[in-house]
A and B are shown apart, each in its own frame.
Chain A
Amino acid sequence: MKNVLIVEDSSTMRSLIVSTVEIIEDVSVTETASGFEALKILPQKKFDLIMTDINMPDINGLELAKFVKTNVDYKDIPLIIISTEGSEKDRERGMQLGADEYVIKPFKPEQLQKLIMKYLKR
């Protein structure tokens, strides 16, 4: 069973992402609306993939990405940023911080699934 963590503050968007991920075989989804919660959840199990939004109220997705990618315990977990089209700079920074992919909303469910499977297979 592969564990996927989804961090997204919009509840509707979150359930859209969750439903896209959930139908992949052998995947268990943990979801949260807040970056702070994500920090608390991370040590609880071994995650195989993290998907996060950028614009969130407590800490933003870039800050979360940096935390993950500079932490000995988490740095090898693939991280996908899913964000609504916005600042090009934010996208560059995300990739520089070590995010593995940058997906722009609106996303196509099939494409997102393909991408997720690519990272889960590793």
Chain B
Amino acid sequence: MGNDSDENSNDMAMEEFTSEAEEIIEKLNSELLTLSSEKGDAHPDTLNGIFRSAHTLKGLAGMFGLKSLTEVSHNMENLLDALRLGKVSLSDGILDALFDSVEVITEIVKGNEEALQSGGRIKSLLSNLESAMKKDGGAKRNSPIDSMNIDPAILSVLTEYEEHRLLDGVKAGKNIFLIHAAFSFDDFDTGLSEINASVRDFGEVISTLPSAGGGSDGGIEFDLLYSTEKSGDVVEKNIDKAGVILTLVSGDGLGKEDVPDSTAKKDDTQLESTSVKGVSRTVRVDISKMDLLMNIVGELLIAKNSIGQITEELKAVSGHNLIAKSLDRTNRELGRKLGELQDGMMEIRMVSLKKIFDRLAMTVRKVARASHKKVDLVIEGAETKLDKLIVEEIGDPLMHIIRNAVDHGIEPAELRKEAGKSEAGTIKLKAYQQGNNVLMEVEDDGAGIDKDKILRKARQKGLVSEDRALSDSEVLDLVFTPGFSTSTEISEISGRGVGMDVVKNNLTRLSGHIDIESEKGKGTTNKITLPITLAIIQALIVETASKTYAIPLNSVQESLLVKRSEIETVEKKQVIQNRNATLPLVSLQDIFDLPKGDDSAKELYVVVAAIAQHRFGMVVDRLVGEQDIVIKPIGDVFKGVKGVAGATDLGNNKTVLVLDVASIVEEMTGA
């Protein structure tokens, strides 16, 4: 075995690790948010889930020899273990330390460990975690479990944590039941999650022990150890499944509260069971593989069009009319199926905004703390779906807007009180679909934007002449002007002085749009409109005769710098010698009938493009660079123009044409 393959498999393992670590971090963020909103009322499963995430991370970090990550996750795990075992009770300080841990872990996974180390961030976090453990001497360690009257056979399979949960229940005078249920092998997981869902809301399933089913039908039986304040009757009624046997292990078996409404929980039941299924039926796919498939679909569509052309030609040949007709039918059917395939591929790429919204919730929490403000975040429509690439790109702009809302929008509590508002400000983050667009709104009930101040500043900077009167919305639009920033100094919280112009630019690149509405004293609303999906491709941006074009990179083989003297003329056509072959040249100026630029340059650039077996060179003045672009269809006016696939916005309001290399090839070979 060579070194190369070792390194390759290491790289792959590392890539897998990073992707799983990112997933765990997302899960941690969302679980911690639940924990912080529910505090002491949080279901024990929440805390245990967080513990398991930290535990998994520690295990992985250890396998990859990542020292800092091991240390941080180990200390985090210790604290969480103490929390879930009741040795330490949850406080704001502990929550902060946990949030901070996830932040540090995120940075380490991103590869920013050195910066953390040199800033002393890891050291201070570790000591915070440690002192959080020590400070709390309050909760007592439980007494040994053997003093309880519990069957040792039940205890033998419990982990230390489960044992603690059991003991906690016994001590609190709860009823502990063994729920025995039998299932067939095919659907026991569904059956179990149904039972779980029907009892989870008023108790806790501590453990799930399988045992071989009786009889020869290959069934399987389970004993669930369940702790609850309800009576056996209530539990039985809620489970509502034939053949379930309830045995009281501890407690008096009598209920302490009223009968819960079992019908009201039906929806939850359904949700729970589908989500359990979801876990095992999900496949993680690298997005580049999906892009590849998408490209293939695109190529298939081109092939289908060629078949269409051939069919037309065939129709003109006498005697082949019938064949041509049936070919035509088949080809149309092919087109329909390709369309479905394309839609299906699009559908796969759609992901919900939940992850981004969770991250934003973290940011609001952090920024509010740092600026000593009280802020309630209301989230609506986190389940709204968008193309994965858009969701990835939308994070930063939204983050910027939401930081602005907390930092500049919401006033300090005293000022709010004076203005007759509630002490805590509210930020609403809302997403919803509207036709082929998704709308996102960030709305705050803060101070609003001071339009006079903006106008004054714009005049000072000479962006607006003194005598020009502007409408309110025109004034608000000024915040998107490059270099415009209203806050007198760059705030630590709103960050590196990235202005709203960058936000707007990023959105424009996604074919999106942003509007601001604001009323002084009442608040500000940012409204973002985005397309649900995009065809994003990589393109080479070139210039010729002072015009800019985008060439899809998938058809570019290489770019050459060629001396004018190397260009030969063969049969009235310009060619160069390249890779032992004659490469025909075409000038973009000729294709688009552009005015001839100066021919004096001694050197020029040739972009070598290839479609199937056809290779040719496009002569351009300048290579600008590579960029991910979104192709937008162009109006009917350009429909007949050969060589154009669509238009794209490069940001900065620069719209350029995207070349259709395939049709240029057709033009050249056909002529």
Contact = CB atoms under 8 A, between A and B. Distances in A.
Interface stretch (B50-58, B169-177, B481-489, B570-578): B50-58
A111 interface: no
Nearest to A62: B157
Interface stretch (B121-129, B205-213, B472-480, B547-555): B205-213
A66 B156 contact: yes
Interface string A74-117: 00000000001111011001001100000001110000000000
A102 to B, nearest CB: 14
Contact of B210 (A19, A39, A105): A39
Contact of B185 (A33, A40, A84): A40
Contacts of A37: 280
B159 A15 contact: no
A95 B162 CA distance: 17
Interface string A5-23: 0000111110110010000
Interface stretch (B9-17, B239-247, B412-420, B662-670): B9-17
A93 B159 contact: yes
Nearest to B1: A23
B189 A10 contact: no
A121 B212 CA distance: 28
Q: Is the interface of B mostly helix, strand, loop or mixed?
A: helix
Interface in B16-46: 16-17, 20
User: How many of chain A's residues touch chain B, expressed as a range?
Assistant: 35 or more
A34 interface: yes
Contacts of A54: 159
Contacts of B13: 12, 15-16, 19
A12 B66 CA distance: 14
B377 interface: no
B207 A19 contact: no
A84 B55 contact: yes
B159 A87 contact: yes
A103 B231 CA distance: 42
Given A12-B20, A58-B208, A67-B210, A97 B156 contact: yes
Interface in B153-201: 156-163, 185, 188-189, 192
B335 to A, nearest CB: 39
B495 interface: no
B60 A13 contact: yes
B16 A12 contact: yes
Given A12-B17, A93-B157, A36 B218 contact: no
Nearest to B63: A106
B381 to A, nearest CB: 28
Given A13-B63, A33-B280, A86-B55, A59 B210 contact: yes
Interface of B: 9, 13, 16-17, 20, 52, 55-56, 58-60, 62-63, 65, 77, 81, 156-163, 185, 188-189, 192, 207-212, 218, 220, 276, 279-280, 284
Interface of A: 9-13, 15-16, 19, 33-34, 36-37, 39-40, 43, 54-55, 57-60, 62-67, 70-73, 84-87, 89-90, 93, 96-97, 105-107
